[in-house]
């Protein structure tokens, strides 16, 4: 309760400062997105727009207002996509540039709603010009025919050199994505008799593994840790 109150007070103060000068803005405001909880990620897209003919050196910070504990969120800005543990970063906005400010949510197959705020400001601006945007995401499971007890367990997890995909006849392939949403590997169930796949050459980190059926439908998304 205290954290929410302090955040609300901070927002009012920052908005009052931001009204003094606005060299940039975020659009649209707010951002509302609905998505599939079984998807590898859900993007809430917006743009930060430089209104001036000058280069702006900005900083963004992310504040989680409310989000399921089973979810993660990460930011993609004009430079790159960052892992969830990065909650603030400096970046450059060129003159008249419209750059991405795209929070990306990872529900890991869990339904729920999330609200975050992203603060964008110039840390060296004596006028404290700050823009704040709110991103709201609602994720539901759209595959209503999926059996509740169906096997989607990957083991070992964490893994080092090999993984075993679930003993599930509906799964035709697994697609591995890194936390930034880039496809890393495709595991074709037709190419093996034992459901075992080598991952020794994959870099350490956290990944999302989508299980796909023969129609190309995503059955489930699991989180995999490579050590």
pLDDT at 128: 65
Instruction: Indicate whether 44 pLDDT > 90.
Output: yes
Edge to edge, the sheet with strand 205-212 lists 183-188, 173-178, 205-212, 218-226
Domain boundaries, the chain: 2-140, 162-226
pLDDT at 7: 47
Q: Mean pLDDT across the stretch 198-219? A: 91
- In terms of pTM, does the model score above 0.85? no
Q: Is 169 left (phi over 0), alpha (psi -120 to 50) or beta?
A: alpha
pLDDT at 175: 94
* Rounded-to-integer distance, Cα 102 and Cα 81, Å: 9
For 39, the token pair is 């998807």
- Secondary structure percentages of the chain, helix, strand, coil, to 5: 10, 45, 45
The pLDDT tens digits for 24-41 are 999 999 999 998 898 888
pLDDT at 199: 94
Beta bridge partners of 133: 118
Looking at residue 66, what DSSP letter applies?
E
pLDDT at 187: 94
* Rounded-to-integer distance, Cα 53 and Cα 56, Å: 9
- The CATH superfamily assigned to 2-140 is Immunoglobulins (2.60.40.10)
Reduced to 3 states (helix: H, G, I; strand: E, B; else coil), residue 39 is: coil
Whether the link from the prior residue into 28 is cis, omega within 30° of 0, is yes
The answer to whether the 2-140 and 162-226 domains have the same CATH topology is yes
**Domain boundaries 162-226, CATH class:** mainly beta
Q: Which residue has the tokens 């103060």?
A: 13
- Percentage of the residues of the chain whose pLDDT score is greater than 70: 86
State the pLDDT confidence band at 9, using cuts at 50, 70 and 90: very low
Q: Mean pLDDT across the stretch 88-116? A: 92
């Amino acid at each position: 309760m205290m954290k929410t109150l302090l955040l609300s007070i901070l927002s009012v103060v920052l908005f009052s400062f931001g009204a003094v000068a606005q060299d940039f803005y975020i659009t649209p405001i707010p951002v509302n997105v609905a998505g599939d909880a079984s998807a590898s990620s859900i993007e809430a897209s917006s743009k930060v727009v430089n209104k001036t003919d000058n280069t702006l050196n900005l900083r963004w910070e992310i504040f989680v207002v409310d989000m399921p504990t089973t979810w993660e969120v990460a930011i993609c800005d004009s430079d790159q996509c960052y892992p969830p543990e990065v909650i603030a970063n400096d970046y450059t906005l060129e003159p008249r540039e419209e750059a991405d400010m795209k929070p990306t949510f990872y529900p890991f197959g869990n339904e729920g709603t999330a609200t975050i705020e992203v603060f964008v400001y110039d840390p060296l601006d004596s006028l404290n010009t700050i823009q704040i945007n709110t991103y709201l995401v609602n994720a539901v499971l759209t595959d209503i025919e999926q059996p509740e007890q169906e096997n989607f367990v990957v083991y070992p997890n964490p893994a080092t050199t090999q993984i075993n995909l679930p003993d599930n006849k509906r799964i035709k392939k697994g697609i591995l994505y890194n936390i930034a949403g880039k496809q890393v590997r495709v595991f074709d169930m037709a190419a093996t008799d034992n459901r075992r796949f080598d991952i020794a050459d994959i870099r350490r980190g956290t990944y999302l593994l989508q299980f796909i059926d023969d129609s190309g439908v995503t059955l489930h998304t699991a989180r995999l840790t490579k050590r």
